[in-house]
Amino acid sequence: VLCWFYVFPVYRLPSDKEIVEEVLRQGEDWQKNQTGIDLYRKLLSECCDPKRMFAVTKENSPVGKVLWYDGEFYYSHTVNNNTYSLFVQENPLQLPLKKCAVVGNGGILRHSKCGRDIDQADFVMRCNLPPISKEYAEDVGTKTHLVTANPSIIEKRFQSLLWSRKDFVDSMKVYGSSYIYMPAFSMRPGTDPSLRAYYTLADSSSNLTMLFANPEFLRTVGKFWKSHGVHARRLSTGLFLVSLALGLCEEVTTYGFWPFSVDLDQRPVSHHYYDNILPYKWFHAMPEEFVQLWHLHKSGTLRVRVGRCA
């Protein structure tokens, strides 16, 4: 039987309504498929070597190494003594990670009561320094092991750290002793704010560890999904994390991935669980990405949670 996710990407993306219907048809059924998990881990290690390459490390980026920015045309940084000193020695994660939860920021998380499920994972990944205060804990949990931070957040929310840095240091406390994963070498204007974020945390003797995303890893992951039919100018942060998780974890569950305007009861849903600010339409292709995630869900390779957890 040809399913819509095989047919539609060629002609058109299914409408929000069609996706809701398809997700409802599948219901809460999910069966883990070890062959699928092993296959994706193999494919991802062949294309992108996440274990060795996901972060910039002293091991993969010695002094003199040229880091080509993945979000710029022909622009690079050559590792020097200063930048080298900021890199971790090697991949610091204790591998393999067992159960991983990748938490997107979709409004579908609101009232989901998925917090407890998320906190039960061995490794929790979140996107873009999201709010996880008491108000949201029941729905999104409280634990974090890795959180991404886009340099644009440092610019907008923390005035590029050129003024007070206390606000930034205080805001980071909710993430405990997790890894902050920053694409410092992706876009030219992002490098300085990322380095300032590093120094700010180092100077405040914070428990967080800064990891710079390796632009080579981001580029190869982008190519991998392009060959699977995701035609975005740039992948969303969430799909980068899912790819990382598929490469490093024994089991992956996603929460908060739902880039559609209505929920499973056809009620309007906000873009984020904490606001309704929409992304630039032309930049990401989140619905296309969801189709891929759903494909992996149906094949038992990862589990996509979109309904309520309790």
Residues that bind ligand CDP (CB under 6 A): 104-107, 127-128, 150, 236-239, 256-259, 271-272, 279, 284, 286
Sign of the CA dihedral 104, 293, 222, 118? Answer: positive
Give least dist CB 107 to ligand CDP, A: 6
- Whole-angstrom distance, CA of residue 251 vs CA of residue 303: 8
Residue (198 or 257) nearer to ligand CDP, CB:
257
- Whole-angstrom distance, CA of residue 158 vs CA of residue 171: 10
Give least dist CB 120 to ligand CDP, A: 20
Residue (41 or 272) nearer to ligand CDP, CB:
272
Alpha helices in the chain (DSSP H): 4-11, 16-26, 34-48, 50-53, 81-84, 115-119, 134-140, 151-157, 166-172, 191-203, 215-226, 237-248, 286-298
- Whole-angstrom distance, CA of residue 286 vs CA of residue 279: 10
Residue (79 or 102) nearer to ligand CDP, CB:
102
Q: Identify the burial level of 225 via C-beta atoms within 10 angstroms of its C-beta, where 0-12 means exposed, 13-18 middle and 19 or more buried.
A: buried
Give least dist CB 116 to ligand CDP, A: 20
Kindly provide the b/e burial profile for residues 171-181, where b requires at least 16 CB atoms within 10 angstroms of the residue's own CB: ebeebeebbbb
Q: Are the C-beta atoms of residues 289 and 261 closer than 8 Å to each other?
A: no
Residue (65 or 219) nearer to ligand CDP, CB:
219
Which residue lies nearest ligand CDP, judged by its C-beta? 238
Residue (87 or 294) nearer to ligand CDP, CB:
294
Residue (61 or 139) nearer to ligand CDP, CB:
139
Residue (25 or 281) nearer to ligand CDP, CB:
281
Q: Which DSSP string corresponds to 262-302?
A: B-TTS-B--SBSS--PPPPTTT--HHHHHHHHHHHHHTTSS
> At a CB cut-off of 8 Å and minimum separation 6, what does 280 contact?
none
Give least dist CB 16 to ligand CDP, A: 11
Give least dist CB 79 to ligand CDP, A: 27
